[in-house]
Amino acid sequence: MSIVVIADRITNALFANQNVTQAMMGNVDYKCIYIFNNEPVRTFYNAYVWFTGVPFHPNESMDMAIGTSMLNGIEQQIQTPNSPPYGVAFARPKLVSTALQLGSIPPQTHLALWLRRTLLANARPAPIDTCGIQVAGYTTQ
C-alpha cells in the first residue's frame, strides 16, 4: 500500500494496462484505496459510494467492497495484486440507489475500499476504458 493521492482523469492512475498474457489468460487484480474526509472539523454523514462509469469494454468489469479495517485503521495486506482480500463482499453499484453505504466518516479520518478488476480470457484491447468512483454524503455547518 502507498500514500498517494489518485488524481482525477489520469490514465492508469490506479490499475496498469493489462499485458498480452493477462489478456489471453484472463486476470483478476485487486487494489485498496482509502476514502478520506479531509475536513478539519466536519463529519461526513451517511456517506455512500458507487461507480459513475463502469468499463465500456465488454470483457472487463469492476467491483468494490468496503474494507475490513475500522475507521482510520490500516487495511489488510494481500500477498500479490491477484490475491483476494479476506472477508469482504464485492458488489457492482452502478447507481446511487445501489451505492455501498459507508456510514459517517469523522474529520481527518479514512475508510478502506477495495476494488476488483476482472478481465475475461481472450479479451481484445479497448481503446478507451474508464471507470469513475463517486462518494457522496452530507456535512453540517
pLDDT in tens, 105-115: 999 999 999 99
Other residues' Cβ atoms within 10 Å of the Cβ of residue 109: 18
Domain boundaries, the chain: 22-123+131-138
Higher pLDDT, 1 or 49: 49
pLDDT-based confidence at residue 1 (cuts at 50, 70, 90): very low
Rounded to two decimals, what is the model's pTM? 0.86
pLDDT tens-place string over residues 86-126: 999 999 998 999 999 999 999 999 999 999 988 888 877 66
Q: What is the pLDDT of residue 56?
A: 60
Give the CB-side neighbour count of residue 56, counting CA atoms within 13 A.
Answer: 6
In whole angstroms, how far apart are CA 72 and each of 11, 67, 104, 106?
28, 11, 12, 9
Burial class (CB in 10 A: 0-12, 13-18, 19+), 21: exposed
Q: What is the pLDDT of residue 11?
A: 58
